[in-house]
């Protein structure tokens, strides 16, 4: 595990964008699961502005680690946010964008998306393997759309599951823990002071830490990186990367 701690969200976004460009460089195909949230939004802006002609977008295939069950034009759609901040600004073949159909029946869509991953990705012990999974972490310690009250979904047999937001009741389609932990690389993007307590609990294995889905991220043979700002890492006893 590598901890990469930077001054603020903007610096996290710049450093992660450079890391992403380097990771994808020279690969004939690169399969990445995207995350929603405010930090990815800034990253997409930076990728579009600084790396539009430096990344071979034709070789990158984009998926989502989770998606809200809303139409693709909805303001809450992770896909819609990515289109607005990245896809509309760079040359990406339409066939390289593999969105979760949030407007469809959640259970049927979870099955369809799991099948898509099986077809498109290499598999390790039957589990689809991404080159990179990008994750965020909620204030409650959830990641992708696996929430603490449904932590059993982490271990589900199906590659994709239907999750329910604990407050709004909104349905979401999410990859499960086995898919996350089979990835070649997993990168957490965590910023803001509201995340500090959970970051400390997870990284220092404070009692009860394993009740947080984000604590279960542990790639079997891949690499785990935490990109954090100083606020999110403020309670962790470590030096800046």
- Statement: residue 240 has pLDDT above 60: no
The pLDDT, as a whole number, for residue 238 is 61
Q: Percentage of the chain surpassing pLDDT 90?
A: 97
- CA geometry: angle 233, 129, 20, nearest 5 deg: 45
Residue spans of beta strands (DSSP E) within 29-170: 30-34, 60-64, 66-68, 123-124, 127-128, 132-135, 160-164
- Statement: residue 239 has pLDDT above 50: no
The pLDDT, as a whole number, for residue 237 is 76
Mean pLDDT to the nearest integer, 187-209? 97
- Statement: residue 1 has pLDDT above 60: yes
The pLDDT, as a whole number, for residue 186 is 98
Mean pLDDT to the nearest integer, 155-166? 97
Mean pLDDT to the nearest integer, 38-62? 97
d(CA 185, CA 133): 6
Q: Over the stretch 202-230, which tens digit does the pLDDT of each residue have?
A: 999 999 999 999 999 999 988 999 999 99
- Statement: residue 2 has pLDDT above 50: yes
Q: Over the stretch 177-187, which tens digit does the pLDDT of each residue have?
A: 999 999 999 99
Q: Over the stretch 109-127, which tens digit does the pLDDT of each residue have?
A: 999 999 999 999 999 999 9
d(CA 239, CA 231): 13
H helices of the chain, in order, are 9-24, 38-50, 78-82, 106-120, 177-182, 196-203
Average pLDDT of the chain to the nearest whole number: 96
Q: Percentage of the chain surpassing pLDDT 70?
A: 98
For 193, residues 6+ apart whose C-beta sits below 8 A from its C-beta are 231, 232, 234
Q: Which residue has tokens 């909805």?
A: 74
- Statement: residue 156 has pLDDT above 70: yes
* Cβ 236 vs Cβ 200: under 8 Å: yes
CB atoms near residue 140 (< 10 Å): 15
Name the residue among 211, 217, 209 with its Cα closest to residue 235: 209
d(CA 5, CA 199): 12
């Amino acid at each position: 595990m590598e901890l990469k701690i930077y001054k603020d969200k903007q610096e996290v976004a710049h450093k992660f964008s450079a890391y992403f460009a380097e990771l994808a460089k020279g690969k004939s195909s690169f399969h990445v699961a995207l995350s929603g949230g405010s930090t990815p939004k800034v990253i997409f802006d930076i990728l579009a502005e600084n790396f539009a002609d430096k990344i071979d977008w034709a070789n990158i295939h984009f998926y989502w680690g989770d998606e809200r069950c809303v139409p693709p034009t909805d303001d809450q759609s992770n896909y819609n946010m990515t289109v607005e901040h990245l896809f509309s600004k760079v040359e990406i073949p339409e066939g390289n964008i593999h969105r979760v159909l949030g407007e469809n029946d959640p259970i049927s869509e979870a099955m369809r998306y799991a099948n898509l991953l099986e077809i498109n990705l290499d598999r390790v012990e039957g589990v689809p393997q991404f080159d990179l999974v990008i994750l965020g972490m909620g204030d409650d310690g959830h990641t992708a759309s696996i929430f603490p009250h449904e932590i059993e979904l982490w271990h589900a047999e199906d590659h994709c599951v239907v999750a329910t937001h604990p407050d709004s009741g909104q349905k979401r389609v999410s990859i499960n823990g086995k898919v996350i932990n089979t990835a070649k690389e997993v990168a957490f993007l965590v910023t803001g002071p509201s995340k500090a307590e959970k970051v400390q609990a997870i990284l220092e294995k404070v009692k009860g830490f394993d009740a947080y889905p984000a604590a279960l991220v542990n790639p079997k043979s891949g690499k785990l990186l935490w990109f954090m700002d100083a606020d999110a890492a403020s309670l962790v006893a470590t030096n800046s990367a």
